[in-house]
Structure 1
């Protein structure tokens, strides 16, 4: 492909489903892009989790607070949180403004800007560059300063799409929770080696949330 960039079209807010679960499903096969002075970082989204309204595991469950305000913005805004003092997690707000819900980006397949990603995660195989939410943010260079950013602008850190045929989407239970573990709110690209978590948790794409 040379220096030609992938033909990723920015997603606008009106393109995004309002419902949190549908949004998490919709984002599989879409793209996360981070434009930097050094070049563009692009990855296809292969795994998400939904944290809908009323979910007791959601950071929005306690109501709007200074630390979770980005979850109450209209759908398509970044909510970045630090987990266990170690890793940043990139989420995106869902629903209408002031509702409080979101989806978690769990994994991407790195496609563009691989040298820049590898510089942030030296010695790591391609498969593991962004396989898992903490690895994803490290590879893309996303930290707390991105909290509240509008991901529908087509600049900086943004979400996009390439017009292709619709692919199958798998669904299973979420990972690493102590409550509401039974809910089928984790979506993934079947067959992708870039999806995180144990292989046994990745059934073929038949089922629903």
Structure 2
């Protein structure tokens, strides 16, 4: 598997391609069960006012401008590290936010990182990496991982894609969570039936459903 697979099609195609894949950091591996696609600026092929890259490249978002397969890690609300994977050709902004996952290896490590969530149980484990901030904490990523090539076997963070995308019958889709612009764009995808998928929350700053630019 390599970055070329993410460059074929639009950001939502890349999001579907990543869904079901496995991201690994050290001893911890997480199966990705929820993702969101994001585009770029007005002069790009996928204008997206909800994307960090909408106003052009900055020191913070430059990884979004490619090449594909690079980790884009940013701090949200001064406390949550969110993990994305760039998916556009070099120079073109697009990325996929990893919203939620199921821990498949390194459970003891994640349990220590998520201490305070209650006695270990299937319900507690399902919430370890539910939501982008929790996923980043469970994985133990840092801002130093920003820009790493997830398809390089020597990288501290690697991504293994499935041999083929998940069948559409087991994939849900809908609007992205918490964005105030382009709030109706159906670029969020999740594995149906997974207990680790987060709940949909519409931004109070977004227009009423149907009234937002898609």
* Partner Cα distance (1:157, 1:103) in 2: 15
Farther off after superposition, 76-85 or 117-126: 117-126
| Residue 68 (1) aligns with residue 61 (2) | yes
* Partner Cα distance (1:170, 1:97) in 2: 29
- Which one of the candidate residues 11, 20, 34 is aligned to 1:47? 34
Matches within 5 A, 1:24-39: 24-35=15-26
* 1:89 aligned counterpart, secondary structure: strand
| Residue 22 (1) aligns with residue 9 (2) | no
What is the match of residue 5 of structure 1?
none
| Residue 59 (1) aligns with residue 59 (2) | no
What is the match of residue 158 of structure 1?
158
Farther off after superposition, 117-126 or 15-24: 15-24
* Partner Cα distance (2:95, 2:20) in 1: 18
- Which one of the candidate residues 179, 187, 208 is aligned to 2:189? 187
Q: Any idea what the Cα deviations from partners look like across 1:15-34, whole Å, max 9, x if unmatched?
A: 33432110011111111111
Change in CA separation of 1:67 and 1:198 when aligned onto 2, cut-off 3 Å: closer
What is the match of residue 98 of structure 1?
91
What is the TM-score of this pair, normalised by structure 2? 0.82
* Partner Cα distance (1:115, 1:104) in 2: 25
Q: Any idea what the Cα deviations from partners look like across 1:33-87, whole Å, max 9, x if unmatched?
A: 112xxxx211111000010231001011111111111111211101111111110
* Partner Cα distance (1:183, 1:27) in 2: 19
Contact 1:17 1:26 in 2 (8 A): no
What is the TM-score of this pair, normalised by structure 1? 0.83
Change in CA separation of 1:135 and 1:71 when aligned onto 2, cut-off 3 Å: same
* 1:66 aligned counterpart, secondary structure: coil
* 1:67 aligned counterpart, secondary structure: coil
Farther off after superposition, 147-156 or 181-190: 147-156
The Cα shift of 1:13 comes to 1.5
Runs of 4 or more consecutive aligned structure 1 residues displaced over 2 Å after TM superposition: 14-19, 161-168
* Partner Cα distance (1:50, 1:77) in 2: 15
Contact 2:6 2:88 in 1 (8 A): no
What is the match of residue 206 of structure 1?
none
Contact 1:151 1:158 in 2 (8 A): yes
What is the match of residue 72 of structure 2?
79
